[in-house]
Amino acid sequence: MKNKVLVVALTLVMVFSFTAASFAATGGGDVTQPQSTSGVDFIIDRTSGTSADAEVVVTFSSEADEYSVVVYLQKQVDGVWKNDLNNPDYVFFNNGLNSRTVIFSHTYDSLTRGTTYRLKCICRDIHGTSEYRSTVYSSSF
């Protein structure tokens, strides 16, 4: 049942993210151009005090010639977010060619009970001679 809900949620996220468009202002603010990363969606389920299932769906506004997606696990320490370098799963990356969507899925099993976490996703994609970068954070879990 849990997998069916996840598949339905992922399908809805992908359908709606394909229709979304984000725009970034350049220069003096009067010229706009499409930003390549049109959506980064997080589906996170903290299944226990020490475990969480996470899925990140990155959608580009058009097929990227090259892309790099890096996902960091961050924890909150004294009100400040820091990469959880003590966790063996603190960073994952996916590099590739000719894609419009990148899906990252992982179960984090080494979380510290009582600690607040979030994911940081850095996207870099190249379309012809144009390169785009964006950084997006998940909600805390």
Q: What is the mean pLDDT of residues 98-119?
A: 95
- 32 pLDDT above the threshold of 80: no
pLDDT of 34 reads: 46
Q: How many CA atoms lie within 13 A of 138 on its CB side?
A: 25
Full-model pTM: 0.72
Q: How confident is the model at residue 37 (pLDDT cuts 50, 70, 90)?
A: confident
- Copy the structure tokens of residue 120: 């940081």
Q: Domains of the chain by range and CATH?
A: 2-22+36-137 (2.60.40.10)
- 9 pLDDT above the threshold of 70: no
E-strand stretches of the chain: 23-26, 31-34, 37-48, 51-77, 80-83, 91-108, 117-127, 130-137
Q: For a pLDDT cut of 90, what percent of the chain falls above it?
A: 71
Per-chain mean pLDDT for the chain = 81
Dihedral angle of Cα 76, 105, 64, 72, to the nearest 10 degrees: 20
Residue 5: enclosing H or E segment and its boundaries? helix 2-19
pLDDT of 23 reads: 33
- 35 pLDDT above the threshold of 70: no
Q: 120, 72 in Cβ contact below 8 A?
A: yes
CA triple 116-57-88, angle to 5 deg: 45
| Largest separation between any pair of C-alpha atoms in the chain | 51
